[in-house]
Structure 1
Amino acid sequence: MTFAEPYSDLDLDDTELRAYFALMDVAGLLRHKVEQQLRQSADLTYVQFKVLARLGLDSPTGSLRMTELADEVVYSRSGLTYQAGQMEKSGWVERSPSPDDDRGVTLTITESGRQRLARALPGHVDVLRELLFATLSGGDVDTLATLLEPVLVHMRALPPRSASSRRR
């Protein structure tokens, strides 16, 4: 694509631009519907769902260090600390000192958190199937994952959001 002045030095071809806008629009529309579903079925925010899912589905112990969790759910440390506090008040998680680092904090899902996650998951899966996977074949889904995974690895190799300096 050729950009008009003063942007003529920018170099994105039509396919790259199409891919970029399609990815951003799909992500935005999907996120909106997912957030709607999570609120209606389980009174969860998307971040709260991601935290519960990482703890309840991905962690064998149901626990993760807060800094690791912040980087994995792509959220700031202070934002995750706030969310963890709200989730702890609701009884969905517990915070405790990290066993391997005195300065660290570990977040653990509770039975109540597992029940909340179980309330959210069926509708969540339905939204994903309806909006994301319905128009794709099994091979397309594999291709999509194969295309996005190296991009995600590349982006996660950059300094995590939790390592960025705080604005004053």
Structure 2
Amino acid sequence: MAKTDALAPEQLGTYFALMEAVSLLQHAVEQQLRADGDISYVQFQLLARLADSDGRLTMTELADGVVYSRSGLTHQAALLEKAGLITRGPSPDDQRATLVTITDAGLTRVSTVLPGHIQVARRLLFDPLSDQDLHALGDIMTRVRDHMRAQPPRSAAPRKRHTGPRTVRGAEASTD
């Protein structure tokens, strides 16, 4: 194992403060979305992205915008479709693509949960910040996000293939 340089104490403290703040905010948002709309945070992200994009995106476009696994995204889309909040079908522009469309019920759900979502974000994230703090935090987080997003989106990354011997119930199986 290669030795890595340790983070400086200030870097480590900043990292842990950020991770704790994100966890606390996400937990509060998740509780509010469940209480007000019976949806998860990921489902809210999908519905909000669709509502903000003229109501239609391909699954790939959704995957590029949401940090979630492909299989998880497919599962969440199936749950939203079953609830009547979205529809899925072949794209008229590319038969290989699946087009996701938000329904009127989906738009209603977004408008139902949005006021509480805004209230949680304002109370936990924005209330303790001055206008100067807000500007600085926005600049910093935009730079960090853009740096992280400079990599190809996860939906475009090749899937990892298992190359070693496979085992079935503890016994090696042939890979040829």
- After TM superposition, the score normalised by the length of structure 2 is 0.85
Map 1:9-158; keep pairs closer than 5 Å: 10-56=5-51, 58-59=52-53, 61-158=54-151
Q: Any unmatched runs of 5+ in structure 1?
A: 1-6
Q: In the aligned structure 1, how far is the partner of 2:120 from the partner of 2:81?
A: 27
Structure 2 residue identity aligned to 1:18: G
Q: In the aligned structure 2, how far is the partner of 1:41 from the partner of 1:142?
A: 30
Q: Which runs of 4+ in 1 moved over 2 A?
A: 159-164
Contact (CA 8 Å) 1:96, 1:105: kept in 2 or not?
A: yes
Q: In the aligned structure 1, how far is the partner of 2:32 from the partner of 2:141?
A: 24
Structure 1 residue identity aligned to 2:150: A
Q: In the aligned structure 2, how far is the partner of 1:138 from the partner of 1:64?
A: 34
- After TM superposition, the score normalised by the length of structure 1 is 0.88
Q: In the aligned structure 1, how far is the partner of 2:159 from the partner of 2:55?
A: 29
Deviation of the 1:64 alpha carbon: 0.8
State the identity %.
53
Deviation by residue 1:4-55 (Cα, 9 ceiling, x = unmatched)? xxx7x52422221121111101000100010000000110100000001111
The total of aligned residue pairs comes to 160
Going from structure 1 to structure 2, the CA distance change for 1:154 and 1:89 (only over 3 Å counts) comes to same
Going from structure 1 to structure 2, the CA distance change for 1:166 and 1:15 (only over 3 Å counts) comes to same
Q: In the aligned structure 1, how far is the partner of 2:25 from the partner of 2:32?
A: 11
Deviation of the 1:167 alpha carbon: 6.4
Q: Any unmatched runs of 5+ in structure 2?
A: 163-176
Deviation of the 1:166 alpha carbon: 4.7
Q: Which moved more, 1:139-148 or 1:153-162?
A: 153-162
Question: Paired residue for 2:165?
Answer: none
Structure 2 residue identity aligned to 1:38: L
Q: In the aligned structure 2, how far is the partner of 1:40 from the partner of 1:128?
A: 16
Instruction: Give the secondary structure class of the aligned counterpart of 1:108.
Output: strand
Structure 2 residue identity aligned to 1:143: A
